[in-house]
Structure 1
Amino acid sequence: MATHVRHPIWLRQVRPAGARTFASLYTMESFARATVSSVIPIQAYEILQSEQAVSILYTIVSLLGLSVTLFMPMLIGRFARRWVYTAGACLLAVGSLFFVTDTLAGQALGMLCRVMGASALSITLNLYIMDHIRKTEFIRSESLRLAWSTFAWTGGPTLGILLYTKYGIYAAHGAVAVFALILLALFWYYRLSDNQMIAAGKSRALNPITNISRFIAQPRLRLAWLIAFGRNCYWTTFFVYGPLFMVIAGEGEVAGGLLISAGNALLFTAIFWGRAGKRFGTRGTIAVAFAAMAVTLFAAGWVSTTAPLITGALLLCGALFAIAIDALGSTVFMRSVHPYERSQMAAVYRTYLDFSELTPPMIYSIVLAFFGLGSVFVTLGLLMAGCAAVSWRYVPKSM
């Protein structure tokens, strides 16, 4: 028949999207982001020559990125998820072009592109996961996704630092562009946009204020946001102030990259944390993890620059428990959000990342005006202790 279309054979061989599909996409995205995760704060410090100024720069960029996140449902409704995801991958590559200018303006624009790209990729990927993965499989899927990304977050920061110190700025940020293009090709190979469940699931995107009000009105969504916010505050501090701490303490740039890689190498434990969550319950595991993070941070603040390697080891201990919340925390949101408003609520939920990149540097810039660098870890420890108490009190036992 004239209307019959015979698709290429390779298209039929693409398996239905599952946990491994999203694990592979997240791993490649992680390579694109992790490669310069320890380069960016060092590069910013070299330009500004002040850790307080670096904190202010991160605050400004996070404020601008927050507005983009809140309007993401409108972009998804107008251009479809596949194009928003595509734009996110492209923004990571475009950001590299700004970074290589090695100027303050280029640094700020590169960081902004990176934030906007991460926002688009995170929201759309979470929507795809909720469409394709059953609620009872969320913990397994998230654990697998984090475990696979171990390769990226372990080797990426050290690779980026080595490229930056040995071959220069173009090599480090050029690698990001390559990984972003590979991610884009992999995404289109999986053809996630062709899934009929996704097409049928679209709904009118309400304005950001309405979405925020709707989100705040649901206690479990507020709880999910706080858990994610607390967890990511740790990672923001670890990625930004970990390398800075090693440089300021006299251990050097390579030591900062190795610290980040060592912390990320622990991501393979996500699978074991997922099993612990099923065995001992999500509530207990999350609360204990937050409490342990608080203890290690208080100790790191107390030791500080008097013994940099011990401080680094304490930060690594905290990272181990942060991964427990990585593996389990997002399930609170995924099991609580209503299917008919996933796009709107996912965008508001995603603001935890923007606020966790905005709030700590803003507070630290004030604290650092009066105290040493160790005060950063003590301040974060207070937040972790609060998150532990809230998680133990409000996360349902049945979750």
Structure 2
Amino acid sequence: MATQVRHPIWLPAVRAPGASTFAILYALESFARASVSSVIPIQIYEVLRDKQAVSLVYTGVALAGISVTLFMPLLIARFARRWVYTAGVVALIIGALLFLTQSLPTQMLGMLCRVMGASALSITLNLYIMEHIRKTKFIEAESMRLAWSTIAWTGGPALGVFLYTRYGIEAAHGVVILFAVILLCLFWYFRLGDNPLIRPGRIRPANPLANIGRFVSQPRLRLAWLIAFGRSCFWTTFFVYGPILMVSSGQGEMAGGLLVSGGNALLFSALIWGWAGKRFGARNTMAFAFAATGAMLLGAGYAGEAAPVAAAVFLLVAAFFCIALDALGSTAFMRSVRAWERPQMTAVYRTYLDLSELLPPLVYSVALAFFGLGSVFATLGVFVLLCGVVTFVYLPRRM
């Protein structure tokens, strides 16, 4: 095809990209991002020395991230997708270099570069997956991709903090640069081609606001977004309020770290949930996972600070069930979006990630004004149960 990348004949032949191709790329990307996921908050806090100010910085970067995500289709329509993916990797490298300084403006720019890089990589990789993986293989591919990232998200944060405290800031962010360079080399080695339906410079990109309207007008895309938003709200709450529960109840910071690592270590179960999705159907499996996650969250809310160990167990079990939504949830979007509007709709779809970091804390602040920390998990539990009902009622059985 005219849009395929041409290479000298002496280059070795590469197999057609499959599920393992995207699992490898995602695992390397996960290492590049996860290794400093626990370092960056520490760096920002050391500069500001104010927890509220840190929250404001994260909120501002998250709002900017939504804008970046919505405008990403403009870049994809203008440039070849392989160059947008490459720019995403370069943004991670630039972000790591900016974090080597100790000034607030450069560190905020570093955070924004990470957001831009993650957005570019996520959207383009999802587009590649939808083009190279058959719809009947989406569940298998997504569960494999998630499972392969287990090591990155389990050991990456601890590795980053260890390097930061033991060898300094250069070592921590040096790991990001190392994995980003390996990712970029491997991406070009795989030589992924662009879809001829999405030709750079020949398609007039739609206005981002029009893309939102187009997305909202399609019921299946709305449902896919709700599924993704529900599971992302759980992980945001788990990563932030799980450790707070451990610290505030006197269990210590190490207990909070072990709780988060334990939840990440369960990502290997994505393969199990992938099998369950094929055996019992994605709709039934996801509805069950929502129901079980919601029940465990209500249990964690009831235990609360009075029984923190029991609450931690409930949260870990909830994480196990929520991983089913990670493994299967994106298939609802991938099987519903039309091929000719994938870039635009993928950008809108990805806003679930940014909004899940903004909206839950606002809701929780109201609950915490009247009740204890357990109310956070109970509130989320009710919402997750509602997501399960909507999923079971409206998601097609054949999805």
TM-score normalized by the length of structure 1: 0.90
Distance change >3 Å, CA 173–CA 246, structure 1 → 2: farther
1:7 is matched by which residue type in structure 2? P
377-386 or 102-111, larger mean C-alpha shift: 102-111
Give per-residue Cα distances to partners, 1:337-359, cap 9 Å, x unaligned.
11111111111111111111222
Taking the TM superposition and a 5 Å limit, the aligned residue runs for 1:1-399 are 7-9=8-10, 11-45=11-45, 53-193=53-193, 203-369=203-369, 371-399=371-399
Distance change >3 Å, CA 95–CA 251, structure 1 → 2: farther
SS at match of 1:192: coil
The answer for unaligned runs of 5 or more in structure 2 is 1-5
Give per-residue Cα distances to partners, 1:172-211, cap 9 Å, x unaligned.
2322222222211111111114676765997432111111
- Pairwise CA distance, 1:167: 2.9
Distance change >3 Å, CA 13–CA 201, structure 1 → 2: farther
Hey, what's the Cα distance between the residues in 1 that align with 2:311 and 2:51? 18
Contact 1:158–1:258 at 8 Å: present in 2 too? Answer: no
Hey, what's the Cα distance between the residues in 2 that align with 1:187 and 1:93? 15
Hey, what's the Cα distance between the residues in 1 that align with 2:109 and 2:340? 35
Hey, what's the Cα distance between the residues in 1 that align with 2:117 and 2:78? 17
- Pairwise CA distance, 1:109: 3.0
Contact 1:89–1:180 at 8 Å: present in 2 too? Answer: yes
After superposition, the CA RMSD in angstroms is 2.6
TM-score normalized by the length of structure 2: 0.90
Hey, what's the Cα distance between the residues in 2 that align with 1:42 and 1:250? 21
2:8 is matched by which residue type in structure 1? H
Q: Percent identity?
A: 65
- Pairwise CA distance, 1:336: 0.7
- Pairwise CA distance, 1:74: 0.4
Distance change >3 Å, CA 297–CA 39, structure 1 → 2: farther
263-272 or 239-248, larger mean C-alpha shift: 239-248
- Pairwise CA distance, 1:372: 4.1
Give per-residue Cα distances to partners, 1:55-103, cap 9 Å, x unaligned.
4433222111001111111011112211211121122222223334345
- Pairwise CA distance, 1:246: 3.8
The answer for unaligned runs of 5 or more in structure 1 is none
Distance change >3 Å, CA 274–CA 59, structure 1 → 2: same
- Pairwise CA distance, 1:369: 5.0
Hey, what's the Cα distance between the residues in 1 that align with 2:8 and 2:165? 48
Hey, what's the Cα distance between the residues in 2 that align with 1:181 and 1:209? 35
2:130 is matched by which residue type in structure 1? M
Give per-residue Cα distances to partners, 1:210-266, cap 9 Å, x unaligned.
111111111000000100111111112223333444444444444433332221111
Hey, what's the Cα distance between the residues in 1 that align with 2:95 and 2:372? 32
Q: Aligned residues, how many?
A: 394
Hey, what's the Cα distance between the residues in 2 that align with 1:397 and 1:277? 12
40-49 or 104-113, larger mean C-alpha shift: 40-49
Hey, what's the Cα distance between the residues in 1 that align with 2:136 and 2:104? 47
Hey, what's the Cα distance between the residues in 2 that align with 1:174 and 1:250? 35
Hey, what's the Cα distance between the residues in 2 that align with 1:41 and 1:317? 27
Distance change >3 Å, CA 252–CA 41, structure 1 → 2: farther
337-346 or 356-365, larger mean C-alpha shift: 356-365
